[in-house]
Amino acid sequence: MNRPEELSQPLEVLPTVIRRRLSLLGKPLTKTELQILRWASEGKTIWEMSKIRCTSEATVKFHLRNIYGKLDVNNRVQAMNEAARQGLC
């Protein structure tokens, strides 16, 4: 696999965001993440999901970032496509 120059460095010297993302790759989605992914696929906003879950918008964004990291994507559209490809929803 060809890794970008920045990823060929030892893990300790990579920026925290990249290290966190690499640590999530390949891990299964949690029940909560699957639920948020389903709501996102239905077009619900972060605010709507936070109200349904009785949690903050920051918490929903946290789960979405984890979903993106686990699926190795950058946004909701890519997450939906990857989830469909993997048969997650």
The model's pLDDT over 12-42, given as tens digits with 9 standing for 90+, comes to 666 766 666 666 777 899 999 999 999 999 9
State pTM to two decimals. Answer: 0.74
pLDDT of residue 1: 45
For residues 57 and 47, is the Cβ–Cβ distance under 8 A?
yes
Three-state SS letters, 42-71: CCCCHHHHHHHHCCCHHHHHHHHHHHHHHH
pLDDT of residue 56: 97
Q: What does the block give as tokens for 10? A: 């030892």
CATH numeric code, 5-86 = 1.10.10.10
| 7 pLDDT more than 70 | no
Q: How confident is the model at residue 59 (pLDDT cuts 50, 70, 90)?
A: very high
Q: Which DSSP state fits 17?
A: H
CA-CA distance, 44 to 15, in Å (whole number)?
32
Q: Which residue did the predictor score with more confidence, 62 or 24?
A: 62
